[in-house]
Amino acid sequence: MLLVYCPYCGVSRPETEFSCRGEAHIARPADPSQTSDEDWVNFLYMRSNSKGVYVERWRHIHGCGRFFNAVRNTVSDEFLKFYKTGEPMPDLEELAKEAGK
Amino acid sequence: MSQPFRTEKGGRIDRSQQLTFTFDGEEMQGHQGDTLASALLANGVHLVGRSFKYHRPRGILTAGSEEPNALVGVYRNGDQTPNLRATQVELYQGLEAISQNRFPSLGFDVGAVNDRLSMFFPAGFYYKTFMWPKSFWDKVYEPVIRAAAGLGKPPKNPDHDHYGNLYAHCDVLVAGSGPAGLAAALAAAETGAKVLLCDEQAEFGGSLLTEANATIDGKAPADWVADAVAKLQAMDNVTLLSRTTAFGYFAHNYIALVERVTEHLPTPDPKLPRERLWQVRAKEVVIAAGSIERPMVFPENDRPGILLAEAGRTYLNRYGVKVGHKVVVATACDTAWQAAFDLADHGVEVAAIVEMRETPPESLMSIAKARGIRVEAGCIVTGTLGRKRIKSALLGRLMTSGQVASGGQVDCDALLMSGGWTPTVSLYSQSRGKVVWDADKGAYVPGKSVQKERSVGAAKGLYGLQATLEDGYAAGEEAAKAATGKSATITYATATGGEAGDGGTLGALPHDRNASRVKAFVDYQNDVTAKDVKLAVREGMQSIEHIKRYTTTGMATDQGRLSNMNALQIASGALERPMTDVGLTTFRLPYTPTTFGVFAGVARGDFFDPVRKTPSHDWVVDNGGVFEDVGQWKRTWYFPKNGEDMHAAVARECKTVRDSVGLFDASTLGKIEVVGPDSAEFLERMYTNPWKKLAPGRCRYGLLLNDAGFITDDGVIGRLAEDRFHVTTTTGGAPSVFATMEDYLQTEWPDLDVWITSTTEQYAVAAVQGPKAREVIAPFIEGVDLSNDAFPHMSVREATFCGVPCRLFRISFTGELGFEINVPRRHGKMMWETLAKEIEKHSGTTYGTETMHVLRAEKGYIIVGQDTDGTVTPQDAGMTWAIGKKKFDFVGKRGLERPDLVADNRKQFVGLLTKDPKVKLEEGAQITTAETPATGTPAEGHVTSSYYSPALDRSIALAVVKNGHALDGKTLYVPMPEGSIPVEVTGTVFYDKEGARINV
């Protein structure tokens, strides 16, 4: 069972307190009516599903209820970073390099 | 004393405490401290079970949890727990055990004919044989396989035990309490770190309890263990858990332990759980799982009386039991010699040491010579005789040519064997570490740590007492330092003796026997022979993973801890590829078989899933209502009166609602309070409908889509004030709608000034529906003019009900004049009982979900999740009226414009009337254009809702049909096994099409 850190509560808690809501930084287009069919379908369904470093949305559903983002290595399940919604995506290559040390 | 194989003295058993137990009904004696296995051996019982496939007589092979043969059933409280390893079952007064997989008895088992017929049961037998005819599968093959193969029988009654659960955190978890584990725990504890030490056995000490030829700090190993354990016990920062198996190593150093709390007790305290699950989050883990001895793969290596050498030594030194009176020791490594010497020292005749190596170490040879033990070097065992117990061993001499020459026969009543040692890498492997081949050690050992763990001692292929202790101390210090940053000066204990020596062999041994007639077992529990592994390779299996599944080798409860290395070597030989290229199967959890009970814990019966009850619940029980489960909710299904069946009750309820009035508990509907300056804007973006112009005091039906454009939920939303909405959702959709709203609010539109709160549990809701609804509620409502003009359909007011503040909605899910009264939950019972009494004055009725469904279907109102399935758009459902077309955006708006969603041939929501009004369609039935379509014809759609309508006195149905909106009046068919049912496509509103009844 993963140990997840909530950046709002400032605590690590077991995975069962949270729900994972898929890949992060998939922004909903600001004006959907101006979005092409292809772009809309990409927004709806296409995810990078990468092996290795992956950025996910998590929600502290049985805690504060807030959404936040986490960088997780999908191979080792190691979390490389937790940060609040709205903060920019960290440099993944840099993070992976640091973790590999 | 009736234990002919008990030693005169020694061992850790309490000889002053004699215990009586039964095995297959036969009464025997043992001592406190015995396992069932050691007690059986003390009584000379080796034959304890029949094998899985061939029903061969089998005896106790090991002294540990890896035992493949000695699986027994143990009775307790009239029920039997099957498949317990006799080597782990602790003896207590009155223990009642039975053997398994034999009929009619262990001594005479008719299933043993399988052994004679074994040429018909090769590897992959099931795949090859039980293929056709198809009908034989459930009638012949399955019952026959089930009856003939297998192990114990499952208990017949529900589990009468209960199980506990604990969460624990520690700095250092040490799994295993042999020399390495104890040393690690001592060192870590000394630094002040919080230490948890667990061991699957009843006593701490592991191999030290067997070791008789060594000293630690000048003490006998077992005495050193006692002192070490006493020291740990006295420390507040140490938790000691015996009878506790670390069975699973999960992500982020989360380790699951199972503690067996009462199973070893004759009369356990009923308040105690049988087992306890420990969910441990450890900062650092020390895996001190030790190693286990490998069987030698020679023909007939499975006879009762054949044990692993170290097991024989354990029975002798720890339990005071001689495995036989005349013992042959077959080995390829040094350690087994010590077993022979210990036996000889206890007066057991060692008939021969059969040493595979041509030149065994001189040091061992001289000890053997001093004891007068015959040594046959360069020899192997090529077979054994004796059906229910070994009588003699056939010897073979290894020739330089690679051939084997007969080496005569040695009589014996027990044979100890050792093919060398295999490190137990299971937990390491579960931690996702990759094992690496160590050519020097001839073993797979843990590679790089993936998690915060370290393997120590024999678990990483390090042997010898002194080296193991040192490794343990160092690992304990390191782990504590890593976890807490603290260290201390640790005094290491020093050991003499307990040397490891070397040697070992892998794979099947050569022999001079007729290869087609003899069986040399690799996996005892699954009856897999060396031949089976070779056959699998001949039949094309290349990967060890395929060989494993084809032959089932390594798939027994020990997960191949005994068999894998031998199987691997045999496969590698057959494939003519180096062993490291063949790969190794992954060890998975659980480490040893684990009860379902401990996983379920308290989540059984009433605690399996929470039950949610509405405020009318008790009243409904008292008044004979029938409940149905809707998710976790108990909802009233219908209220039978005077012996009515469901059909009659529902027909009466429907008619009464339409004629006078009905009362329905709508408390389960999801409710969300949306508050804030931007709440109208928020709902505008969430729902398809426009909200900004909705006046306070009015309601609107809201339709919720996902961004793909499909309907996900619906409900009526009332505006209580400019900045406050009362949103209702479907019963099942409440949590997901709330989560979706939070998601958009927090992550897409954090600029909106809105708060949302789930209020489902805060309100009790009574729906009063029917022409007399106004008269029913009027006496209790204050603060609202209930007239149609002042309080029209789709309005909401804050008022009081019997003086209690309420939110009063004028809404209808029946097509009749209707009200829904929301009171604080604690007043729900009062409200329900008040209204239930009142409706009687108006010849009204309480009604349940079935009537609710019928009434709404008569009006063509959809139920999300029944009439929709996640692929239905508002257009498909005929609900374009619910879409605010002028809105800039809402969730799903762009999705609805996708080409596939506006294309022709979409399935659309329609009504269906059977040509014969008495025929009711099956929900889910497929719809076709042809009366008797050819096999393979795709359906045009399916029936989503179907009821008998009392108002129309005929059946009605709702369906989704391809291009259904254009098919009004057309005839379609619903082919059923009894014949095709012709239906006419209609609109979805069957009753009061103009909607007059709602506006009165």
Pick B889's closest partner by Cβ from A32, A41, A66.
A32
Q: Do B898 and A1 touch (CB under 8 A)?
A: no
Calculate what percentage of chain B has a pLDDT beyond 90.
88
Return the SS3 of B369.
helix
Residue B792 and residue B670 share a domain: yes
In a domain, B235, yes or no: yes
B121 in A contact zone (CB under 8 Å): no
Pick A44's closest partner by Cβ from B254, B281, B708.
B708
Q: List, as ranges, residues 9-68 from A with C-beta within 8 Å of B.
A: 14, 19, 21, 28-29, 31-33, 35, 37, 40-41, 43-44, 57, 59, 61, 65-67
Q: Which of B942, B931, B941, B922 is nearest to B975 (CA)?
A: B931
Pick B894's closest partner by Cβ from A21, A35, A57.
A35
B725-757: per-residue pLDDT in tens?
A: 999 999 999 999 999 999 999 999 999 999 999
Q: Domain A3-28+37-100, what architecture?
A: 2-Layer Sandwich (3.30)
In a domain, B134, yes or no: no
Q: Do B746 and A85 touch (CB under 8 A)?
A: yes
A100 in B contact zone (CB under 8 Å): no
Residue B764 and residue B807 share a domain: yes
According to DSSP, the residues that pair with B59 across neighbouring strands are B47
Q: Do A44 and B707 touch (CB under 8 A)?
A: yes
Closest Cα of chain A to B262: distance in Å?
A: 28
Residue B677 and residue B801 share a domain: yes
Report DSSP state, residue B515: T
| Domain coverage including residue B534 | 505-577
Average pLDDT rounded to a whole number, residues B136-143: 65
Residue B437 and residue B402 share a domain: no
- Which residue from B minimizes the CA distance to A37? B898
Higher pLDDT, B583 or B851: B851
The residue with tokens 């008797």 is B932
CA within 13 Å, CB half, B909? 25
For chain A, the structural domain boundaries read 3-28+37-100
Q: What is the mean pLDDT of chain B?
A: 94
Closest Cα of chain A to B885: distance in Å?
A: 12
Residue B96 and residue B85 share a domain: yes
pLDDT of the residue at B2 = 81
Residue B649 and residue B790 share a domain: yes
Q: Which of B723, B730, B623 is nearest to B673 (CA)?
A: B723
Q: Do B707 and A14 touch (CB under 8 A)?
A: no
B320-374: per-residue pLDDT in tens?
A: 999 999 999 999 999 999 999 999 999 999 999 999 999 999 999 999 999 999 9
In a domain, B811, yes or no: yes
Residue B528 and residue B570 share a domain: yes
Q: What share of chain A is helix, strand, coil (3-state, %, to 5)?
A: 25, 35, 45
Pick B252's closest partner by Cβ from A2, A32, A65.
A2
In a domain, B596, yes or no: no
Pick the residue of B450, B747, B902 with the most A CBs within 10 A to test the interface with A by mutation. Answer: B747
pLDDT band at residue B129 under the 50/70/90 scheme: low
Residue B538 and residue B528 share a domain: yes
The domain boundary residue, chosen from B97, B125, B153: B125
Q: List, as ranges, residues 693-752 from B with C-beta within 8 Å of A.
A: 707-708, 739, 742-743, 746-748, 750
pLDDT of the residue at B585 = 82
pLDDT of the residue at B262 = 96
The string of DSSP letters for B748-788 reads I-TTS--EEEE-GGGEEEEEEESTTHHHHHTTTEES---ST
Question: For residues B711 and B733, what is the distance between their CA atoms, to the nearest angstrom?
Answer: 12
B133, pLDDT greater than 70: no
Residue B953 and residue B903 share a domain: yes
B893 in A contact zone (CB under 8 Å): yes
Q: What is the CATH number of the domain that holds B959?
A: 2.40.30.110
Q: Do A40 and B898 touch (CB under 8 A)?
A: yes
In a domain, B52, yes or no: yes
Residue B446 and residue B566 share a domain: no
In a domain, B143, yes or no: no
Q: Which residues in chain B touch residue A59, judged by CB atoms under 8 angstroms apart?
A: 739, 742-743
The ipTM, to two decimals, is 0.97
Average pLDDT rounded to a whole number, residues A63-74: 96
The string of DSSP letters for B628-639 reads EEETTEEEEEE-
Return the SS3 of B285.
strand
Pick the residue of A44, A69, A84 with the most B CBs within 10 A to test the interface with B by mutation. Answer: A44
The string of DSSP letters for B972-989 reads EEEEETTEEEEEEEE-S-
- Give me the number of domains chain B comprises: 6
The residue with tokens 């056959």 is B535
B895, pLDDT greater than 70: yes
In a domain, B640, yes or no: yes
Q: What are the distances in angstroms from CA B413 to CA B278, B389, B508, B776? A: 43, 7, 23, 92
Q: What is the CATH number of the domain that holds B698?
A: 3.30.1360.120
A77 in B contact zone (CB under 8 Å): yes
The domain boundary residue, chosen from B497, B530, B562: B497
Neighbours of A31 (CB within 10 A): 9
Closest Cα of chain A to B453: distance in Å?
A: 14
Q: How far is CA B38 from its chain centroid? A: 32
Residue B182 and residue B278 share a domain: yes
B442, pLDDT greater than 60: yes
Angle between helices B530-538 and B544-551 (to 10 degrees): 120
Range of B29-33, B73-77, B101-105 with top mean pLDDT: B29-33
Q: What is the largest CA-CA distance in chain A?
A: 46
Q: What is the CATH number of the domain that holds B242?
A: 3.50.50.60
Q: Do B747 and A85 touch (CB under 8 A)?
A: yes
Q: Do B889 and A33 touch (CB under 8 A)?
A: yes
Q: Is the peptide bond before B143 cis (omega within 30 degrees of 0)?
A: no
Residue B899 and residue B889 share a domain: no
Pick A3's closest partner by Cβ from B252, B895, B898.
B252
pLDDT of the residue at B120 = 66
pLDDT of the residue at B414 = 98
B973, pLDDT greater than 80: yes
The string of DSSP letters for B149-170 reads S-SPPPPSS-----EEEEEEEE
Q: Which residues in chain A touch residue B889, judged by CB atoms under 8 angstroms apart?
A: 31-33
Q: Do A40 and B895 touch (CB under 8 A)?
A: yes
The domain boundary residue, chosen from B403, B419, B435: B419
Q: What is the CATH number of the domain that holds B541?
A: 1.10.10.1100
Neighbours of B400 (CB within 10 A): 7
B146, pLDDT greater than 70: no
Q: List, as ranges, residues 205-264 from B with C-beta within 8 Å of A.
A: 250-252, 254
